[in-house]
């Protein structure tokens, strides 16, 4: 007996892992496959007869409308991404393949959940510009922001300051207590330094136990001095009980101000680095 393909097609559609939507010209849903419940949390009977736009993330409505218009004008769209709101309130990232069927007067779309892919892409984008241990800005992004800040400072005739921080005797923590504990101390330092900077400033881990702070729109040297004192005070706070008596290391802070200490990034970084090492040297000499 031959296979009745017409009878089989609906069963095949409901077996698909991707969700199938059929939507009329007025955006009303007329059909969804079973996979839609896993995608958005709604059963077919909850969706059919409602507007598909009701489930879209509001920030994506304009871009989605442009994609819909493209499909209605006879151009298929195979790689469009947008966000929908799941029944439980979470956000679902969806990749669409859609086309208009003139004979059925309907828009047919196949939706794939790419939330996990989007999360992985976001993580990669974050790691490209941030330190994986502390989550702070990394050297590459810091250098970009320093260059941008210098251009803005030159254009608007404003000052900025660059602080170069080195954690004193940090190697002894790693040697005595292990790198896992050392990493925890670095993360604690990062969180403390975050308390000292404004949203307009940039805090970065340059590598190892070295950190930098970029202070923008600085009106005077007194403001920079006060910021250095604040950081030193925060760094002097003892570590919590979870560190089992480990002493919080101090830090040496070198300072470079634009334009007094240099007008380009390399000069300012070198000046701040040299100032920091002079402080470390005096600290060593005084025991």
Residues identified as active-site = 209
Distance separating alpha carbons of residues 151 and 158, to the nearest angstrom: 10
Task: Please give the torsion angle defined by the CA atoms of residues 226, 227, 228 and 234, in that order, rounded to the nearest 10 degrees.
Answer: 110
Where do we find the tokens 């993330």?
57
State residue 113 phi and psi, 5-degree precision.
Answer: -75, 115
Distance separating alpha carbons of residues 70 and 78, to the nearest angstrom: 11
Which DSSP string corresponds to 130-191? B-TTT--B-HHHHHHHHHHHHHHHHHHT-EEEEEEEEETTHHHHHHHH-HHHHHHHHHHHHH
């Amino acid at each position: 007996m031959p296979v009745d393909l017409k009878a089989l097609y609906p069963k095949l559609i409901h077996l698909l892992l991707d969700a199938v939507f059929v939507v009329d010209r007025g955006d009303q849903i007329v059909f969804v496959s079973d996979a839609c419940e896993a995608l958005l949390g709604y059963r077919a009977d909850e969706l059919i007869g409602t507007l598909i736009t009701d489930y879209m993330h509001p920030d994506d409505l304009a871009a989605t409308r442009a994609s819909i218009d493209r499909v209605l004008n006879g151009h298929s769209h195979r790689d469009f991404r947008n966000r929908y709101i799941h029944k439980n309130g979470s956000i679902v990232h969806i990749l669409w393949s859609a086309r208009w069927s003139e004979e059925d007067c309907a828009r047919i779309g196949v939706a794939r959940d790419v939330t996990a892919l989007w999360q992985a892409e976001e993580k990669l984008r974050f790691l490209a510009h941030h330190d994986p241990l502390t989550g702070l800005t990394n050297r590459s992004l810091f250098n970009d922001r320093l260059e941008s800040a210098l251009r803005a400072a030159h254009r608007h005739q404003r000052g900025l300051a660059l602080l170069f921080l080195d954690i004193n005797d940090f190697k002894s923590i790693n040697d005595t207590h292990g790198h896992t504990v050392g990493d925890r101390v670095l993360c604690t330092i990062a969180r403390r330094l975050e308390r000292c900077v404004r949203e307009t400033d940039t805090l970065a881990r340059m590598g190892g136990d070295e950190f930098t702070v970029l202070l923008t729109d600085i009106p005077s040297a007194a403001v920079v001095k006060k910021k250095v004192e604040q950081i030193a005070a925060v760094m002097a706070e003892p570590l919590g009980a979870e560190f089992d008596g480990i002493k919080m290391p101090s830090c040496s802070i070198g300072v470079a101000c634009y334009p007094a200490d240099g007008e380009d990034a390399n000069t300012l970084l070198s000046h701040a680095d040299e100032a920091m090492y002079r402080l470390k040297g005096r600290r060593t000499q005084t025991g």
